[in-house]
């Protein structure tokens, strides 16, 4: 369809029809207009899989890919493109033409709850990888929706906080990945952040949407709000927001009326409707309307997707330490797999990025498959739960009418459930539900029980009240901050089955926040008092101990920030105890971001595996046994102490998490390694760091020129030699330093990178290109990108702390490029 066709279609539409397109029909779909053959378009989260239209837990099965930080660790542009192509097929299988992904906010504070979902602390790495993911996805006809635009770098008070960001930091850091996503990735859609940016909400911020995104960057796609993040009708439309999500319209309930009375709003409505139509067109939905209700689960059929996820998981795994070359393990190793993350595949983070994975392969399963059952033993050692685990059991739900009669029933699975839709005749705002399930006690004794709910809840066990989360409801860290705290109790149960009933009803929430109803019942036998001793014994009997520790999606999630940097539970003690019993101890860490490692010095080998998707256990086995080289390099600095985090300086609270409704990015340009360079701290592990099983050297680098004229480009050929006896991967990183500047600039900034795979003794080459923007800063007085004439240095190496090659570069005259966006 050409723009003339779109105009023609718009001309045929009534104002009412145009307005109807500008808010969702429901949680995941746009409004169809049958009279004009305009089909509905379905969207789905994103970013590590395509969940489909079901709830966050217990929906249709789908492939779980590595989370953002794991993909970020690969530094592999081609791999990200492939991931995009595969995700497109996943989205189409769920009837969706739009994936709500990738998440490309920057890792500013190490305590951001969605740290796991983002790619990196660096805008260049985030932008390049994001653009490749988008290209892959869209090449297969599915729209990307880059999110969350902009300044959404933490979860604290996320629905209202005002991010106060100076112009240079905004341009050089936080907007930069979005600029890549639009200009290089060609993203067809973008999602605004929940937060305010320097005053107005992002969803009604004309400077952000109209001036910069559309005006400067030439974005011609669709802008949608985050879920429940639209706050006005005409005002948001006039600012350039096309689509309120979810639907039906709430903030935009009065949009038709406003448009009838105001010419500017009428024009904005037409533009926004055009953007919705264009997205329907671009995703091929006019020609091939999908059945947006049909969702298929394909796993067996997609061996290639499983292989890709496994490969990507290994390529994102970072080898942080390998004293004495302890890894890889020999093929006949006898291994004790120990720790709370050994038997549970931690494959994803929490919040809207979660999905019902086809499988969650645990490290224990992966190592058993690789080494044989008989060579692998196990002990749990300690626990690391934030909330008690849920159960995978049948769940029967009855909805009760006024007089207590059953008006509808549903059958689901799991002891956690979340509602995005209700059976016919059930009012989401006032329903009463009774959920029944069976608790099985394998033997008589004490059991831990818990209840957390978005809504008022009560748990009865065998007819007796066990937890009252109704009269005493207290807000907590569950369900995006809309849920209660987790209430726990201990109960003596006889061996066998026990009847559990949960009663639930919604509770009113503040105006402007969408209401969520959800409940989780946790149940488990308390940890054995001999758990630590058992782990020590099992470790001492094996050749090697692999200690699987870290966190999970209850700790690393959306709506609340991270708890701190210490590993939760008794995990540090577990590592020390196992190490004392077996010097051949390998720590397999799985977290969504930096943590402290007080035991690091004594432990010979440490791998950071993140949450690498459904094949986690196999990917880890591949790396542990050397079937795959650990290809990951840290996309985020690991500070040595929380005080070294750039947002934890002399002015705590103001910079993080925020105070009086605002979070001030006072550190300006200095986050991640930029902060390390300025503050002179020594991180636990620097940005870009990661070992291989082989060793590399960078013998030489050849620039195409030592001088460049304004507007020109320089390329650098970097030689890489594999000096070892194994095939391995290396990431060549190129940073630029402005030597002569009198302006405050970071000591160095990543401007190019490339990854090579080389066989034993092989030498290869990486070709890296620098343009003028690689040398430039944003001059907020001139409103332009400016590269000053004079001396620069090109620093080349394999981490931000290891840059052995330096090439001088002279820019022969000043270069600048003005921007139209204004301030
Ligand atoms: C998240 C988005 C997500 C949306 C829909 C919001 O809570 O911030 O990233 O796409 O929900 O699930």
Largest CA distance in the chain: 84
Ligand 1 centroid to 713 CA: how many Å? 39
**C-alpha span between 171 and 322 (Å, rounded):** 39
What gap in Å lies between CA 341 and CA 363, rounded to an integer? Answer: 8
Tens digits of residue pLDDT in 362-383: 999 999 999 999 999 999 999 9
Kindly state the percentage of the chain with pLDDT values over 70. 98
Q: What is the CA radius of gyration of the chain?
A: 27
* Rounded distance from Cα 154 to ligand 1 centre (Å): 14
Residue 768, strand partner residues: 716
pLDDT for residue 515: 73
The C-alpha atoms of residue 74 and residue 77 are separated, in whole angstroms, by 8
pLDDT at residue 290, as a whole number: 79
Tell me if 689 is assigned to some domain.
no
The atom number, within ligand 1, closest to the CA of 351 reads 7
Element (H, E) at 408: strand 406-413
* pLDDT beyond 90 at 346: yes
Distance separating alpha carbons of residues 577 and 571, to the nearest angstrom: 10
Kindly state the tokens that stand for 427: 């009012």
**CB of 227 sitting under 6 A from ligand 1:** yes
Report strand pairing: 98-100 vs 143-149: parallel
How many domains does the chain contain in total? 4
What is the rounded CA–CA span in Å between residue 373 and residue 381?
Answer: 20
Q: Which atom of ligand 1 is nearest to the CA of 194?
A: 8
For the segment 724-779, what is each residue's pLDDT rounded down to a tens digit? 999 999 999 999 999 999 899 999 999 999 999 999 999 999 999 999 999 999 99
**CA separation, residue 38 to residues 281, 284, 407 (Å):** 10, 12, 35
Q: pLDDT confidence of 649, banded at 50, 70, 90? A: low
Which residue has the CA at smallest separation from atom 12 of ligand 1? 352
Q: Specify whether 642 is located in the same domain as 628.
A: yes
pLDDT at position 821, please? 54
CA 145 to ligand 1: nearest atom? 10
Q: How far is the CA of 239 from the centre of ligand 1 (A)?
A: 21
Tell whether 231 and 269 lie within a shared domain: yes
- Whole-number pLDDT of residue 54: 84
For residue 642, the CA-to-ligand 1 centroid distance in Å is 28
Whether residue 292 is predicted with pLDDT greater than 70 in this model: the reply is no
Strand-pair partners of 99? 44, 144
Q: Is the pTM of this model over 0.75?
A: yes
Provide the CATH number for the domain around residue 809. 2.60.40.10
Q: Rounded to 10 degrees, what is the CA torsion of 331, 332, 333, 337? A: 80
Is 552 found in the same domain as 660? yes
- Is the C-beta atom of 335 inside 6 A of ligand 1? no
- With respect to residue 684, please indicate whether it lies within any of the assigned structural domains: no
Per-residue pLDDT at 512: 58
C-alpha torsion 128→131→133→137, nearest 10: -170
pLDDT band at 402 (very low <50, low <70, confident <90, very high): confident
Q: What is the pLDDT of residue 472?
A: 81
Q: Tens of pLDDT along 227-272?
A: 999 999 999 999 999 999 999 999 999 999 999 999 999 999 999 9
Question: What separation in Å is there between the alpha carbon of 502 and the centre of ligand 1?
Answer: 27
pLDDT for residue 421: 83
CATH of the domain at 110: 3.20.20.300
From atom 11 of ligand 1, which residue's Cα is the shortest distance away? Answer: 227
Judge whether 296 lies within some domain: no
- Any idea what the CATH number is for the domain that residue 337 is in? 3.40.50.1700
Q: Are residues 197 and 153 in the same domain?
A: yes
Same domain, 727 and 805: yes
Answer yes or no: do 643 and 672 share one domain: yes
Atom of ligand 1 nearest to the CA of 45: 10
Question: Is 481 a pocket residue for ligand 1 (Cβ < 6 Å)?
Answer: no
Query: Is residue 99 within 8 Å of 142, Cβ to Cβ?
Result: yes
Give yes or no: residues 333 and 278 share one domain: no
Instruction: Let me know whether 705 and 673 are in one domain.
Output: no
Among candidate residues 524, 556, 577, the one where a domain is terminated: 524
Whats the size of the chain, residue-wise? 823
Is residue 406 in a domain? yes
Residue that the structure tokens 């092989």 belong to = 762
CATH of the domain at 500: 2.60.120.260
Cα(345)–Cα(734) distance, integer angstroms: 36
In the predicted model, is pLDDT for residue 511 greater than 80? no
Min mean pLDDT across 58-67, 169-178, 477-486 is at 477-486
**Residues 80 and 165 occupy one common structural domain:** yes
Q: Could you read off the pLDDT of 516-557 as tens digits, one per residue?
A: 899 999 999 999 999 999 999 999 999 999 999 999 999 999
**Each residue of 637-658: b (16+ CB within 10 Å) or e?**
bbbbebebbbbbbeeeebbbbb
132: left (phi over 0), alpha (psi -120 to 50) or beta: alpha
Angle at which helices 123-139 and 77-93 cross, to 10° = 40
Instruction: Let me know whether 209 and 82 are in one domain.
Output: yes
Helix pair angle (531-540, 571-581), 10° resolution: 30
- Residues with active-site annotation: 226
- The H or E element containing residue 183 is helix 176-183
Domain boundary among 253, 287, 321: 287
* 363 and 408 both lie in a single domain: no
Strand 432-441 with 394-400, pairing: antiparallel
In short, whether 117's Cβ falls inside 6 Å of ligand 1 is no
| Same-domain pairing of 491 and 628 | no
> Is residue 447 included in any domain, yes or no?
yes
- Would residue 686 count as lying in a domain? no
The mean pLDDT value for 132-147 works out to: 98
Q: How many helices (H) and strands (E) does the chain have?
A: 17, 38
Atom of ligand 1 nearest to the CA of 56: 12
The pLDDT assigned to 632 comes to 98
The reported pLDDT for the residue numbered 782 is: 95
Q: What is the mean pLDDT of residues 468-481?
A: 90
Distance CA 491, CA 459 (A): 12
Mean pLDDT, range 693-706, rounded to an integer: 97
Long-range contacts of 284-288 (CB under 8 A, 24+ apart): 284/97, 284/141, 285/39, 285/41, 285/97, 286/1, 286/37, 286/38, 286/39
Give me the mean pLDDT over the 34-55 stretch.
95
- Is residue 336 pLDDT above 70, yes or no? yes
pLDDT of residue 513: 62
Does any domain span residue 293?
no
Distance between CA atoms of residues 424 and 656, nearest Å: 45
481 has a pLDDT exceeding 90: no
**pLDDT tier, 482 (very low <50, low <70, confident <90, very high otherwise):** confident
pLDDT in tens, 88-112: 999 999 999 999 999 999 999 999 9
| Any ligand 1 atom below 6 A from CB of 46 | yes
Confidence of residue 289 (pLDDT cuts 50, 70, 90): confident
Give the 3-state secondary structure percentages of the chain, helix then strand then coil, rounded to 5.
25, 30, 45
* Domain end position, chosen among 466, 493, 524: 524
Q: How much is the average pLDDT of 342-358? A: 97
Task: Yes or no: say if 283 and 142 are a contact pair by the CB < 8 Å rule.
Answer: yes
Provide the pLDDT for residue 400.
94
* Residue 310 scores a pLDDT above 90: yes
pLDDT at 1: 76
pLDDT, the chain, mean: 96
C-alpha 294 to ligand 1 mean position (Å)? 22
**Domain annotation covers residue 648:** yes
The residue segments making up the domain with residue 674 are 308-386+529-679
Report residue 245 as tokens.
């999500």
Q: Name the one residue in this structure whose structure tokens are 């390099």.
A: 633
The pair of three-digit structure tokens given for residue 405, joined into one six-digit string: 């009669």
């Amino acid at each position: 369809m050409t723009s003339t066709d779109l105009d023609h279609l718009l001309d045929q539409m009534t104002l009412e029809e145009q307005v109807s397109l500008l808010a969702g029909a429901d949680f995941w779909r746009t409004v169809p207009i049958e009279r004009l053959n305009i089909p509905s378009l379905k969207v789905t989260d994103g970013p590590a899989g395509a969940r489909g239209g079901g709830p966050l837990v217990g929906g249709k099965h789908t492939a779980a890919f590595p989370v953002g930080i794991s993909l970020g660790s690969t530094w592999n542009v081609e791999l990200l493109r492939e991931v995009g192509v595969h995700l497109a097929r996943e989205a189409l299988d769920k009837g969706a033409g739009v994936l709500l992904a990738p998440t490309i906010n920057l890792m500013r504070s190490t305590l951001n709850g969605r740290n796991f979902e983002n790619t990196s602390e660096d805008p260049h790495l985030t932008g390049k990888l994001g653009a490749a993911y988008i290209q892959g996805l869209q090449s297969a006809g599915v729209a990307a929706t880059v999110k969350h635009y902009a300044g959404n770098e933490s979860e604290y008070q996320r629905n209202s906080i005002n991010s106060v960001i100076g112009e240079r930091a905004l341009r050089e850091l936080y907007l930069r990945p979005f600029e890549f996503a639009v200009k290089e990735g060609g993203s067809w859609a973008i999602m605004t952040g929940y937060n305010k940016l320097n005053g107005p909400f992002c969803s009604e911020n004309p400077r952000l949407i109209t001036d910069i995104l559309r005006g400067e960057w030439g974005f011609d796609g669709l802008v949608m709000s985050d879920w429940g993040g639209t706050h006005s009708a005409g005002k948001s439309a006039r600012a350039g927001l096309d689509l309120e999500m979810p639907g039906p319209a709430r903030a935009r309930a009065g949009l038709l009326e406003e448009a009838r009375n105001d010419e500017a709003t009428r024009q904005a409505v037409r533009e926004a409707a055009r953007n919705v139509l264009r997205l329907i067109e671009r995703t091929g939905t006019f020609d091939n309307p999908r059945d947006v209700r049909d969702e298929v689960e394909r796993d067996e059929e997609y061996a290639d997707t499983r292989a890709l996820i496994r490969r990507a998981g290994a390529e994102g795994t970072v080898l942080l330490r390998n004293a004495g070359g302890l890894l890889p393990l020999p093929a006949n190793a006898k291994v004790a797999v120990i720790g709370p993350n050994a038997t549970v595949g931690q494959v994803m983070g929490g919040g809207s990025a979660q999905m019902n994975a086809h499988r969650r392969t645990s490290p224990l399963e992966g190592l058993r498959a690789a080494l044989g059952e008989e060579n692998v033993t196990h002990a749990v050692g300690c626990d690391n739960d934030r909330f008690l685990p849920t159960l995978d059991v049948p769940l029967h739900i009855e909805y009760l009418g006024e007089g207590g009669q059953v008006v509808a029933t549903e059958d689901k699975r799991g002891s956690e459930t979340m509602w995005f839709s209700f059976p016919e005749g059930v009012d989401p705002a006032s329903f009463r539900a009774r959920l029944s399930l069976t608790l099985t006690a394998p033997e008589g004794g004490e059991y831990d029980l818990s209840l957390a709910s978005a809504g008022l809840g009560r748990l009865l066990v065998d007819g007796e009240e066990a937890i009252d989360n109704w009269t005493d409801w207290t807000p907590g860290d569950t369900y995006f901050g809309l849920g209660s705290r987790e209430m726990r109790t201990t109960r003596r149960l006889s061996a066998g089955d026990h009847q559990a009933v949960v009663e639930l009803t919604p509770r009113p929430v503040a105006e402007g926040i969408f209401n969520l109803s959800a409940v989780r019942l946790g149940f488990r036998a308390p940890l054995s008092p001999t758990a630590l001793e058992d782990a020590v014994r099992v470790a001492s009997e094996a050749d090697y101990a692999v200690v699987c520790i870290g966190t999970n999606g209850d700790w690393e999630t959306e709506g609340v920030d991270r708890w701190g940097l210490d590993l939760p539970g008794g995990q540090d003690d577990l590592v020390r105890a196992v190490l004392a019993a077996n010097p051949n101890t390998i720590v397999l860490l799985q977290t969504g971001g930096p943590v402290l490692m007080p035991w690091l010095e004594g432990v010979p080998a440490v791998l950071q595996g993140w949450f690498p998707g459904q094949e986690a256990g196999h990917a880890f086995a591949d790396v542990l046994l050397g079937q795959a080289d650990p290809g990951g390099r840290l996309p985020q600095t690991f500070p040595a102490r929380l005080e070294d985090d750039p947002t934890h300086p002399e002015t705590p609270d103001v910079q993080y998490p925020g105070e009086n409704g605002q979070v001030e990015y006072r550190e300006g340009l200095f986050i991640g390694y930029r902060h390390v360079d300025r503050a002179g701290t020594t991180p636990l592990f620097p940005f870009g760091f990661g070992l291989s099983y082989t060793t590399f050297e960078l013998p030489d680098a050849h620039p195409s020129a030592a001088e460049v004229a304004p507007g020109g480009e320089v390329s650098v050929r970097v030689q890489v030699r594999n000096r070892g006896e194994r095939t391995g991967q290396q990431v060549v990183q190129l940073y630029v330093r402005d030597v002569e500047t009198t302006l405050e600039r970071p000591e160095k900034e990543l401007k190019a990178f490339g990854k090579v795979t080389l066989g034993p003794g092989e030498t290869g080459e990486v070709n890296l290109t620098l343009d003028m923007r690689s040398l430039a800063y944003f001059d907020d007085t001139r409103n332009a990108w400016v590269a000053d004439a004079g001396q620069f240095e090109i620093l080349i190496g394999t981490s931000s702390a290891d840059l052995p090659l330096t090439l001088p570069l002279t820019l022969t005259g000043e270069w600048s490029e003005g921007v139209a966006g204004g301030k």
